[in-house]
Amino acid sequence: MSSRTAEVLKTDNARIQARASGDLQTLSRIYADDYVLITAEGDVRFKQDQIGELKSGKLHFAPLVPVERRVRLFGNVALVVSRDPAGIVRNGQQIGGDLRMVRVYVRREGRWQLVSAQATRVAPR
């Protein structure tokens, strides 16, 4: 594993931990100001949505361990593709589940920042 891949995974792991613990300072540093998420329901969400709902208690993330996680590097861009058994509750409703995720990190000012993510629900078989 290259050192850049290890850096991306370290950042991705810090994001997972910060979401579960409600560490808004760490999330604010990892999420780029222009961060955009496409949810499994097709909604578009931004950094201020995620941070604001976590701060207000409307959004909760359970700890998770991604499976099948791979990192692909393209210069200063990293794609993280994983399967995340995600426990996510928004406004008291479970919106998580078995998700395939694509996260796009960009190396800016010596650190990796999350600029985009897309979730796709895995259909039961």
Mean pLDDT of 95-104: 87
88-90, strands of its sheet edge to edge: 59-61, 88-90, 93-94
Higher pLDDT, 64 or 114: 114
Dihedral pair phi/psi, residue 117, rounded to 5°:
-150, 150
Mean pLDDT of 78-90: 86
Structure confidence at residue 91 (pLDDT): 76
User: What is the pLDDT confidence band of residue 114, given thresholds at 50, 70 and 90?
Assistant: very high
Strand partners, 123: none
Structure confidence at residue 64 (pLDDT): 85
| Residue at token pair 């995340």 | 84
Higher pLDDT, 64 or 111: 111
Average pLDDT of every residue of the chain: 91
Prediction pTM value? 0.92
- In the chain the domains, ranked by start, together with CATH numbers, are 3-121 (3.10.450.50)
Mean pLDDT of 78-91: 86
44-58, 62-76, 89-103: least confidently modelled range? 89-103
Task: Enter the tokens of residue 14.
Answer: 């810090």
Structure confidence at residue 95 (pLDDT): 74
The yes-or-no verdict on residue 25 having pLDDT over 90 is yes
**Torsion sign, CA atoms 108, 38, 99, 57:** positive
Structure confidence at residue 44 (pLDDT): 97
CA distance 32 to 115: 5
Task: Enter the tokens of residue 89.
Answer: 């509750």
